[in-house]
Amino acid sequence: MNAGNQPAGISPWGAAQEVDYAALFAEFGIEPIETVLPDIPNPPAFFTRGIVKGHRDYGIIAKAIREHTPFYVITGFMPSGHPHLGHLMVMKEVVWHTRMGGKGYIAIADREAHAVRGTSWEDCRKYGEEYLRCLYALGYRGVSYYQSRNSRLQDLAFEAATKVNFSELTAIYGFGPETTLAHPVSVITQVADILFPQLDAGPAPTVVPVGVDQDPHLRLTRGIAHKLRMFTVEDRGDHISVRSKNAPDEAVDLIYRAFPGSKRYEGHIDVKGVPHERVADEVRRIEQARGGCAFYTPSSTYHIFMPGLQGGKMSSSVPESLFTFVDDDGSVSKKVMNTLTGGRSTVEEQRRLGGEPDRCSVYLLNLFHMVEDDAELREIHRACRAGELLCGPCKKATLERVRAFLKDFREKMDAVVLPEEG
């Protein structure tokens, strides 16, 4: 299903690999990651190598990292099958953010899997545990839960649902008369997932690392988070305008008294001589004390799609395009050695013209996951372009890296003792 106003093939349930990122970012207001890269302390390889390509409002997260102030990182996984190579990047992004001081939240989106994929609840549980073992093996420490077992999440989803109508969902996701009601319910549950950390542990900046196909969920959630606020705080240049959105009178009174010299009008208060951030923090504190959500609008990062091992789309429906972490060694070896390369038709052409690493699934496997050292990766790229590194030796070296990674990863997965939910 193509989402209503998405570019062809871009939707949370049918991501394409051929994406014009520049056009997509321009259309939906996603900024290039380069705009915040200088503000990120010791940025990891997925930022510096261009794997994470865009962001929304990541500056507030970079500031929290630099200043060691609270923030959250949340993402979800739909347990409709075994976790695989294509899930590894977002897992790494979540783990890195927790190591930078963020409190982690992982949603196992079993309601979505059941509604969209028809996955049985038993399989949702089984696959969900596999995802969590992968995350904890990578070093994740934080909260995890299943959507179907989190009553507070479900209450938040119900409240969020009061701020959106079916026409809006149709415009974003392309829902039609044939859409089962469970599908929009799963969507609003994912909105609640994104906002849940702030409900659970208090308002704070929140980042959601995703592929660009998940951006419809972020746009919807940002709008709902805004609608759930009692106030908006706007910088008007010479003053800060605090505007009520059906806030209780006592909350308006408290804000007026909090800023001596402010001017009160019907529906808004103007504050002069006070920084925007200080006003926003005080308004949020008063709103929360009077029973409001006081949510921060969530931020997001967007990583590019890793192509399948045979080129094109990486999909569980095409087993040759990926390997799972439970595949046997023989299957993994066969898939890696059969990976589509950016090499030429003959050895002679390869030596004379050089390879095309940027179009090579073997090189991209190394870029995304298998080569940690940037200097080593640059040398692989250079030698390929120069015709010095042929595809056969490169595949064999990559396979050895994959084997070493999987051996270590599986041992860590086997050693994981999953914590209690919540």
Average pLDDT over residues 94-98: 98
Banded model confidence at residue 421, pLDDT cuts 50, 70, 90: low
Calpha distance 200→198 (Å, rounded): 5
Residue 325 near residue 337, CB atoms below 8 Å: no
- Give long-range contacts, CB 8 A cutoff, 24+ apart: 282-291: 282/255, 282/258, 283/231, 283/233, 283/242, 283/255, 284/203, 286/251, 286/254, 286/255, 286/258, 287/229, 287/230, 287/231, 287/247, 287/251, 288/202, 288/203, 290/230, 290/247, 290/248, 290/250, 290/251, 290/254
What pLDDT shows up at residue 3? 38
Q: Which residue has the higher pLDDT, 289 or 319?
A: 289
Sheet holding 31-32, edge to edge: 31-32, 52-56, 299-303, 206-211, 72-77, 103-108, 142-146
Q: Which residue has the higher pLDDT, 188 or 20?
A: 188
Percent of the chain residues topping a pLDDT of 90: 80
Give 260-291 pLDDT, tens digit per residue: 999 999 989 999 999 999 999 999 999 999 99
- Whether residue 12 has pLDDT greater than 80: no
Q: Which residue has the higher pLDDT, 183 or 270?
A: 270
What pLDDT shows up at residue 16? 46
- Whether residue 218 has pLDDT greater than 50: yes
Give 110-130 pLDDT, tens digit per residue: 999 998 899 999 999 999 999
The model's pTM is: 0.91
Average pLDDT over residues 132-144: 97
Average pLDDT of the chain to the nearest whole number = 92
